[in-house]
Amino acid sequence: MAERFVNFEKDGAIGVVTLRRPEKFNALDIPMLRALEAALDDAELAESVRVVLIRGEGKGFCAGGDVEAWGAMSAADFQVQWVRYGHRVFDRLARLRQPTIAVLSGHALGGGLELAAACDFRVAETQIKLGFPETSIGVVPGWSGTQRAVRRFGAQIVRRMAIGGEIFLAVDAFAHGIVDRLVETGKAFDEAKTWAEKIAERGPLATEAAKLMIGVAEGEEDAAATEALASGFIAMSADLKAGVGAFKAKQKPAFSRS
C-alpha cells in the first residue's frame, strides 16, 4: 500500500525514492509522509545503496503540503500530527546515512523546497520555480523552512522567499546556491544519477562519516553523531570482540587495546 504513494527501488549502488501523487503535483498528506518515512527506512537498510535520489513522478517535484489535508485540522492536531510529524520525516531524510540528491524536474514550493533542502544536493532543470509562498495564505513554513533552509541557503535568501514572497527561477536559485547543478529540461534525473555514480565510487564509510561530521558542524546532527562515530570505531576493535566473547562465556575479558 505504501508503494502506491512513495516507491523505493535499487539500481546498483543507487537508491531511488519516488513521490507518486502526480495528479496533485506530489503534494504531501499524512499517508504520503508515512510512505516517505517507510521508504527512507528501506533505503537506509539497503546495504548495497550508497547514494539516494529523491524525485517526483509527473510534472512536479513536490508542491508542498496538501492544503486540503491540513486545512480542517484543529490547532492541536495541526501542531502535532502535521508540523511535528512532518519535521520527523524530514529530519529522517536529512540524517540518512547515505548522501542524497533531490532531482528537481518540477517546481519545489513550500514543503517541496523544504524536502529538497533536507537533501545534501539539488539538481534543477531550468524551467522550474522554487520558493516559500506560505505567508500568502496566512501560514508559515513549518517543516524547517525557517531553520534548516536558513542554515543551508542563508537567512537573507530565506527572508526574500518567506517574507518577501519571491519565487526564484532555477537559474536564480543556482546563482544563490539554493541548487547545486542546473540542467536543461528533461535532464535532471540523468545528471543526478551520473553524479550519484561518481559519489558511489568513493569510500562508503568515509563518505558516511564525512556527511555525519558536516552535519555536526552545521547543527543538523547532535550528541547522537558523536556516540555513533565513537561506537563505530569501537565496533572494529579486538577489545569489543574480547568483551562480548568473555560476556558470553561468563569469563573476565582480556583486553589488548587493539
Pair (85, 102) in one structural domain? yes
- Catalytic-role residue among 114, 208, 220, 221: 114
Weakest mean pLDDT among 47-51, 150-154, 181-185, 233-237: 233-237
Q: How far apart are CA 173 and CA 129, in angstroms?
A: 8
Q: How far apart are CA 61 and CA 22, in angstroms?
A: 9
pLDDT digits (tens, 9 = 90+) for 229-246: 777 777 788 887 887 888
Pair (68, 157) in one structural domain? yes
User: What is the total count of domains within the chain?
Assistant: 2
- Please check whether residue 254 lies inside any domain of the structure: no
Pair (219, 134) in one structural domain? no
- Catalytic-role residue among 57, 125, 134, 220: 134
Mean pLDDT of the chain: 91
Q: Residue 1: is its pLDDT beyond 60? A: no
Q: In this predicted structure, what is the pLDDT of residue 64?
A: 85
Q: In this predicted structure, what is the pLDDT of residue 2?
A: 55
Active site residue 227: no
Pair (194, 212) in one structural domain? no
Beta bridge partners of 103: 55, 123
Q: In this predicted structure, what is the pLDDT of residue 226?
A: 78
- Please check whether residue 166 lies inside any domain of the structure: yes
Q: Map the chain to HEC letters.
A: CHHHCEEEEEECCEEEEEECCHHHCCCECHHHHHHHHHHHHHHHHCCCCCEEEEEECCCCCECCECHHHHCCCCHHHHHHHHHHHHHHHHHHHHCCCCCEEEEECCCEECHHHHHHHCCCEEEEECCCEEECCHHHHCCCCCCCCCCHHHHHHCHHHHHHHHCCCCEEEHHHHHHCCCCCEEECCCCHHHHHHHHHHHHHCCCHHHHHHHHHHHHHHHCCCCHHHHHHHHHHHHHCCHHHHHHHHHHHHCCCCCCCCC
Pair (219, 98) in one structural domain? no
- Please check whether residue 257 lies inside any domain of the structure: no
- Please check whether residue 24 lies inside any domain of the structure: yes
Domain holding 214, by residue range, is 204-249
Pair (243, 157) in one structural domain? no
pLDDT digits (tens, 9 = 90+) for 74-126: 888 778 778 888 899 999 999 999 999 999 999 999 999 999 999 999 999 99
**CA 66 centroid distance within chain:** 19
Active site residue 191: no
Q: How confident is the model at residue 3 (pLDDT cuts 50, 70, 90)?
A: low
Q: Determine what percent of the chain is predicted with pLDDT higher than 70.
A: 99
Q: In this predicted structure, what is the pLDDT of residue 202?
A: 97
Pair (122, 97) in one structural domain? yes
pLDDT digits (tens, 9 = 90+) for 10-39: 999 999 999 999 999 999 999 999 999 999
Pair (37, 78) in one structural domain? yes
Q: In this predicted structure, what is the pLDDT of residue 200?
A: 98
In this structure, are residues 114 and 62 in contact, taking their beta carbons and an 8 Å threshold? no
What is the CATH number for 66? 3.90.226.10
Pair (109, 219) in one structural domain? no
Pair (156, 76) in one structural domain? yes
CA distances to 133, 171, 190, 201 from 158, in Å: 11, 17, 29, 34
- Please check whether residue 258 lies inside any domain of the structure: no
- Please check whether residue 196 lies inside any domain of the structure: yes
Pair (52, 165) in one structural domain? yes
- Please check whether residue 149 lies inside any domain of the structure: yes
Q: How far apart are CA 107 and CA 63, in angstroms?
A: 7
Residue ending a domain, among 170, 186, 201, is: 201
- Please check whether residue 210 lies inside any domain of the structure: yes
Q: How far apart are CA 46 and CA 76, in angstroms?
A: 36
Planar angle of CA 115, 117, 122, nearest 5 degrees? 100
Pair (243, 161) in one structural domain? no
Q: How far apart are CA 179 and CA 163, in angstroms?
A: 20
Residue ending a domain, among 201, 218, 236, is: 201
